[in-house]
Structure 1
Amino acid sequence: MSPVRIAVLNLMPFKEVTEADFLRLLKGVSTPVEVTWMRLRTHVSKHTSAAYMELHYRYFDELRQERFDGFIVTGAPVELIDFEEVDYWEELRQIFDWAHANMKSTLYICWGAQAGLYHFFGVPKYALPRKMFGIFSQRVLSAVPLFEGFSGEFPMPHSRHTEIRRSDLERHPDLEILAESPVSGVSMVMTPDAREVFITGHLEYEPYTLDNEYHRDLGRRDDVDLPKNYYEADDPSLKPVDSWHEWALRLYENWTSLYLAKKRQDA
């Protein structure tokens, strides 16, 4: 079987960390995967060298004529900025429309999910009084193939200062709410046939990502608490409990095999 081709628009500041997070999952699935990293012309990364970006990333306008099976849009540290005020918003909108027209399925992650929901459906985001930070149990609401092998609940890491609300999503009949938590809210939303899948958390995170964020922001921000349901005995001197990796791997296995590879065979 030839590999499924996935393009990843990496909007996170520390590119190599995010690359490792996604490759950890995509290399663990049964379907061969070829990953291409995309960057923006309208934004220059401040935390990754120009030489690294030149070597490992390609611009959207260089890739838009190529054929890919799937697409991933990562989160970005701009969630407290209005969408239209983000310096690369217009280019991002072009990319979203390109993905909608050309991909079998796209995963929009965290701020990427909020941006995608706003672009396609006008769904707003709302600032939270405290950062949603930790591992929260999500209830499965729909028996879609994406959840094959899942039980009724699964854990998902969250790290965000804004939220979307169920009441806004319910106004759109083409949006199906797939999973939610009474604490962290709606976590997964899908359009028909999984053309777009919006995920408000970070199943791709490796075990120490939240730990690194916590110690980075400790004393620098006043809205960051100890990540919930994360450390052994809620003690930050102990190891984090990687409770979500099994479920993350299942989700990406289902996405690549049932939505990307299978749709290619059926085409």
Structure 2
Amino acid sequence: MPINIPKQLPARGILEEENIFVMDLERAHTQDIRPLKIVIMNLMPDKERTETQLLRLLGNSPLQVSITFLHTATHKSKNVEASHLNQFYNTFDNIKDKKFDGMIITGAPIEQLPFEEVDYWEELTEIMEWSKTHVTSVLHICWGAQAALYYHYGIGKFELPKKCTGVYRHYVQNPTVELVRGFDEEFLAPHSRYTSTSLEEVEASDDLLTLSVSEHNEPFLILSKDEKHVMITGHLEYDARTLGDEYKRDTKRGLEADIPENYYPGDDPNQKPLHRWRSHAHLLFTNWLNYYVYQETPFEWD
């Protein structure tokens, strides 16, 4: 089934070239189908790229999915045209009276700041509190996962000696849990962050279950025991070029940027990186949509 997106959204052309079934909202409204309503809080600076990455994964499902994009009202994005936000995005005030089957809160390149010093932290906490009663399941990515762990469960983050950037091995801890159904016992996933979360603190929580850890013994996939929240501490949604583009961006800025680990063949930035985590990215999003959104959400919200 298709994902329902606006006809003029730039991601549409890319998705159609990849043979992903997309449908504009006007056509979707003529079909007698109850689509899953997913709201995406996009905090990433390159919003159009993140839109494409997430829609690519949400579109690989037999379920029809209708997308609403959110941006912050209390923070002005510097890397996207205001016309793009005005045409394709909402602010929280526009949607706070609605209910959604699922929500995604993305990462953001601000993890070195204390949470309370993020200029939109108060707005985000209001949205996370709202999600408790207005969303069936919430998927949190990277900094979004750290924010959820801190706000909902009181688990903080700590700074790493240097940026964690690369593609790393991960190991499934609880293979019978539906979120990791079909996962290999060992799989790859990319990371791009300056901070981390304590595995000991996560496992000490009565409310959380660790589903996967990285080769550095850090939590990667975390599920709340009420199945309301999914936290991913890395970036399974990244395409094959994203880590390389971030590396080149940082070097152009004169930053001391390390080559992403286990990313380029032979660690040679002149080589084309391979997309070695694609299948598990699709599987994770499909499992989330099926088991934690579709099978849990009411057909009609009260």
TM-score class, shorter-chain normalisation, is: over 0.9
Equivalent residue for 1:58?
Answer: 90
Equivalent residue for 1:138?
Answer: 170
- Does the CA-based 8 Å contact 2:159-2:194 persist in structure 1? yes
The answer to whether structure 1 residue 9 and structure 2 residue 32 are counterparts is no
Which residue of 187, 199, 218 maps to 1:185?
218
Residues 126-182 of structure 1 show CA distances to partners (whole Å, capped at 9, x for unaligned) of: 111111111111111112111111121211110000000112213311111111013
Which residue of 226, 241, 255 maps to 1:221?
255
Quick one: distance in 2 between partners of 1:36 and 1:265?
A: 19
Q: Percent identity?
A: 41
User: What secondary structure, in the 3-state scheme, does the structure 2 residue paired with 1:197 have?
Assistant: strand
- Does the CA-based 8 Å contact 2:180-2:211 persist in structure 1? no
* Structure number, greater radius of gyration: 2
Question: Quick one: which amino acid aligns to residue 69 of structure 1?
Answer: D
The answer to whether structure 1 residue 174 and structure 2 residue 207 are counterparts is yes
- Does the CA-based 8 Å contact 1:136-1:184 persist in structure 2? no
Question: Quick one: which amino acid aligns to residue 221 of structure 1?
Answer: L
User: What secondary structure, in the 3-state scheme, does the structure 1 residue paired with 2:50 have?
Assistant: helix
Equivalent residue for 2:275?
Answer: 242
Question: Quick one: which amino acid aligns to residue 186 of structure 1?
Answer: P
Equivalent residue for 1:99?
Answer: 131
Aligned residues: 266
Please report the TM-score for the alignment, with normalisation by the length of structure 2: 0.85
The answer to whether structure 1 residue 263 and structure 2 residue 296 are counterparts is yes
Equivalent residue for 1:155?
Answer: 188
- Does the CA-based 8 Å contact 2:207-2:226 persist in structure 1? no
Question: Tell me, which stretches of 5 or more residues in structure 1 are unaligned?
Answer: none
Equivalent residue for 1:118?
Answer: 150
- C-alpha root-mean-square deviation of aligned residues, in Å? 1.5
Equivalent residue for 1:24?
Answer: 56
The answer to whether structure 1 residue 71 and structure 2 residue 124 are counterparts is no
User: What secondary structure, in the 3-state scheme, does the structure 1 residue paired with 2:296 have?
Assistant: helix
Residues 61-99 of structure 1 show CA distances to partners (whole Å, capped at 9, x for unaligned) of: 111111210000000111111100110111110101111
Quick one: distance in 2 between partners of 1:67 and 1:138?
A: 34
Quick one: distance in 2 between partners of 1:184 and 1:86?
A: 28
User: What secondary structure, in the 3-state scheme, does the structure 1 residue paired with 2:248 have?
Assistant: helix
- Cα drift, residue 184 of structure 1: 6.3
Quick one: distance in 2 between partners of 1:175 and 1:188?
A: 10
Quick one: distance in 1 between partners of 2:85 and 2:157?
A: 30
- Cα drift, residue 55 of structure 1: 0.4
Quick one: distance in 2 between partners of 1:266 and 1:190?
A: 24
Higher relative contact order (CA 8 A, sep 6+): 1
Question: Tell me, which stretches of 5 or more residues in structure 2 are unaligned?
Answer: 1-32
Residues 84-132 of structure 1 show CA distances to partners (whole Å, capped at 9, x for unaligned) of: 0110111110101111222221011000111111111111111111111
Quick one: distance in 1 between partners of 2:190 and 2:167?
A: 4
